[in-house]
Amino acid sequence: MEWTECIRKTIQCLEQRLLDTEEELDVSGEVGVSTFYLQKGFRFMTGYTIAEYVRGRRLYLAALEVIADKEKVIDIALKYGYDTPESFTKAFSRFHGVSPMQLKKEPSRLHVFLPLKIKIEVQGGNDMDYVVEREESFRVVGFEREFSLDTSHADIPRFWEEIRAKYMDRLMRGEKPSTDIERTVWDCGVGMYGVCIDDREEDGVFRYLIAGVYKGGEVPEGMTVYEVPGLTWAKFTCMGPLPGSLQSVNTKIYQEWLPGNPAYEIARSINLEWYSEGDMDAIDYESAIWIPVVCKNVH
């Protein structure tokens, strides 16, 4: 399915299921895209995670019912997925800036949150600096952690900071490795790749590795080896200081490149970030985003 239409259909499905449980709101199967890429693409194209969008729509519709004053607050809370009036009032107040009782008195303070309309103007999608090429499978070794799609954009940079402080900073100052982990970090170039893998049964959770190229030998405790499958990758060059340059290109991939290149669709629930050596704050620092793709026959 063409990418823009995929996001439009996602919104349509969510609107039809706003009162369903969280499990029933997974529409990835209907739109033919993995949960990982659907969640990621939705956020880049709309500015919201799927959970944020659904929560906002529910609280807006709940507010309309509060203003209509035909049902008790506890019944409205249960209808829109809140177990108690207290949890509903807390979420309601955070979203609208007033409690349900206050909104009844001042309906003008309603925070309007209407269904999203996707309108894409492709600007430069075909001018992005990228190549499409096949890579055979290879193994990486590194540090693994699970993340939630809803909070990963903030949590993953903290993970990098933690690993750098523990295992990399000393080596970057020119000191010799003194532990098995430091030797593996040094020998395998850990920090060259950030690997996102969506293979968990739990929706909205994925694995992320800070990794380098595995060269064989014993793997120290606390580190993981993962085999990146042989795939065709669209590799997008990012130039400039991190994380801004990487985030900018990531946004362009979903807002411009995928909508503007219907011949390609995402192939697997994995993507890679590649990092060069050097000063990550420099204006000429080079990194890259790898997206696995398959070429469709477009007539």
Span 57-68, average pLDDT: 90
Task: Give the three-state DSSP class for 297.
Answer: coil
Is the domain of 81 the same as that of 10?
A: yes
pLDDT at 266: 87
Number of domains composing the chain: 2
Is the preceding omega at residue 243 within 30 degrees of 0, hence cis?
Answer: yes
Taking the C-alpha atoms of residue 94 and residue 70, their distance in angstroms, rounded to an integer, is: 23
Claim to verify: residue 130 and residue 217 sit in the same structural domain: yes
Asked if residue 114 belongs to a domain, the reply is no
Q: Is residue 89 part of a domain?
A: yes
pLDDT at 49 over 50: yes
Return the DSSP state at 175.
P
Tokens of 79: 């209808």
**Residue-range definition of the domain harbouring residue 39:** 3-109
How would you classify the pairing of strands 224-228 and 286-295?
A: unpaired
Query: Does residue 193 sit in the same domain as residue 75?
Result: no
Shared domain check, 161 and 191:
yes
Over 59-70, what HEC string results? HHHHHHHHHHCC
The mean of the pLDDT values for the chain is 87
Residue with tokens 């990794």: 211
Considering the domain architecture, whether residues 84 and 171 belong to the same structural domain is answered as no
Residue 271 lies in a domain: yes
Question: Does residue 32 lie in a domain region?
Answer: yes
Q: What is the CATH number of the domain that holds 140?
A: 3.20.80.10
**Residue 126 pLDDT > 50:** no
Question: What pLDDT sits at residue 23?
Answer: 66
Euclidean distance between CA atoms 41 and 250, whole angstroms: 9
Quote the pLDDT of residue 270: 93
Strands 264-266 and 286-295: antiparallel
Q: Domain check: are 140 and 288 in the same one?
A: yes
Same-domain status, 198 and 267: yes
Residue 120 lies in a domain: no
Same domain (yes/no): 9, 102? yes
For residue 298, pLDDT beyond 60? no
pLDDT at 143 over 90: yes
Q: Determine, yes or no, domain membership for 225.
A: yes
Asked whether residue 97 falls in the same domain as residue 177, the answer is no
Answer yes or no: are the C-beta atoms of 252 and 246 closer than 8 Å.
Answer: no
Residue located via tokens 């955070």: 94
Choosing from 109, 144, 176, the residue where a domain stops is: 109
Is residue 101 located within the same domain as residue 139?
no
pLDDT for the residue 226: 97
Give Cα separations from 121 to 53, 207, 236 (angstroms): 22, 33, 20
Same structural domain, 163 and 238: yes
Between the alpha carbon of residue 106 and those of residues 49, 66, 102, 296, the distances in Å are 29, 11, 6, 54
In a domain, 115, yes or no: no
- Is 157 domain-assigned? yes
Instruction: Indicate which CATH number applies to the domain containing 79.
Output: 1.10.10.60
**When comparing pLDDT for 118 and 115, which is higher?**
115
